[in-house]
Amino acid sequence: MEILFQNVCIIDPRSVHHLKMRDVLISNGKIIKIGSKLNPTSTVKVLFAKNSYLSPGWVDIACYGGEPGYEERETLDCLSNAAIHGGYTRIAYMPNTFPAIHSKSEVHFLMNRQKELAIHIHPIGAISKSNEAIEMAEILQMQKAGAVAFSDGNSGIRSSGLLRRALEYIQLIPSAILIQHSYDSDLSPNAQVHESVETNSLGLKTSPSLAEFSAVQRDISILEYTQSRMLLNKISCSESVQMVRKYKKSVPNLFATVSVFNLVYQDSDLTEFPSSLKLIPPIRSKSDLTALWKGLKDQTIDIIVSDHFPLNPELKDLEFQNAGFGAISLETAFSLFNSQNSDADSLTLWVSKCSLNPRKIFSLPEAGIVEGSDAELTWFDPTIKWKYNLEKIKSLAKNSPCINQELTGKVLGVFSKNKFHLTH
């Protein structure tokens, strides 16, 4: 089947067609022609939408699901459908399942299951068996089976000795990377929210920024010693941004991500105790939010993650102090980001942080808008206003802070695995 994206603005900083209006013709899964006013034959499916953009397919790193073991939260089929509607063609899947993805058997399971899905799912192997931070998992065997990275998820690696050994193993695998959640829970046991003037009156246990950036400092020091590869996942405070910025030049294989939630919400949004905004890391102050945006723009922060974390109602629909941490976001991540700024520079930033950089850092297949390349594309309109309600949610879980909110910016469709999926 042939598809023609007609009069679409291309967002791909590496392409000669970047920010230009073009027609893009796809045949047999490849981009065969890019030009102006291409004349399609009667067999070509023409796609046109005013104000629409076309970019390389988006990639979500460190995405949580449910299958295997927690299918009541999220199945891989629902996760794939939610990802497609959010514009993602690939996701890297966190190992915090049951059983954990801690051996080649679980990696093989995911690699086989993803063949049936509309998107590519790349397994992230656990660093420790069952994510318990006691005994190291089968890192080398999981990598050979298809794992692209290794992590213990939101719990991180608290043991300095285990972190060092894991980084030394990672060093043996040039294409692999360790994903670390830097956080010292001893500095804020059972914390619920960020520590600030805004939250001190809420009567909840608070988490100071110190709990994050002190752990960031330790983790970078161990990385510098081992000369391995590490990505600090979801840094959230200004001090962490400053520290990563300081060490980036001397530690070339240091990378960082930020959650889209920490780019949009701030601690003042918690005054009415919305359990949907009970997250890891916590929503922090306005000054932290500003520092995170600066870090994105000056290349200190490499990737934006959706921070998709599905939970069933029994765990989430509770009073704030008893609710679980996490929110779904695959379908709304772009709209949330776009709500802050939707000019050409901002859209280019999004594509760089959600497609180009993840592919490069995780050694994933490239997806460029150039003639002859494989077609893996996201088609979107940053001007569309739409309401995200329960009936529209594709994820099995419904724990979103965006329900019944009007959002700006919508994915129109994606081309993935040699098939076009219309989403709007």
Which residues are known catalytic residues? 307
Give residues with Cβ within 8 angstroms of 388, minimum separation 6. 331, 332, 335, 400, 402, 403, 404, 405, 407
Query: Hey, is 318 helix, strand or coil?
Result: coil
Helix ranges (DSSP H) in 227-329: 238-247, 260-264, 286-297, 313-316
Residue 286: how many other CB atoms lie within 10 Å: 12
CA–CA distance, 352 with 65 (Å, rounded to integer): 24
CA–CA distance, 237 with 403 (Å, rounded to integer): 26
Of 164, 311, 288, 290, the residue nearest 224 (C-alpha) = 164
CA–CA distance, 4 with 36 (Å, rounded to integer): 12
CA–CA distance, 335 with 407 (Å, rounded to integer): 6
Which two three-digit tokens encode residue 76? 């891989």
CA–CA distance, 87 with 383 (Å, rounded to integer): 15
Query: Hey, is 113 helix, strand or coil?
Result: helix
CB 65 within 8 A of CB 94: yes
Q: Is the bond leading into 189 cis (omega within 30 degrees of zero)?
A: no
Per DSSP, the residues of 377-403 read EEEEEEEEEEEE-GGG--SS----TTT
Task: Tell me which amino acid residue 341 is.
Answer: N
- The dihedral through the CA atoms of 11, 13, 14, 16 has a sign that is positive
Task: Tell me which amino acid residue 129 is.
Answer: K
Bridge partner residues of 10 (DSSP): 54
CA–CA distance, 405 with 423 (Å, rounded to integer): 19
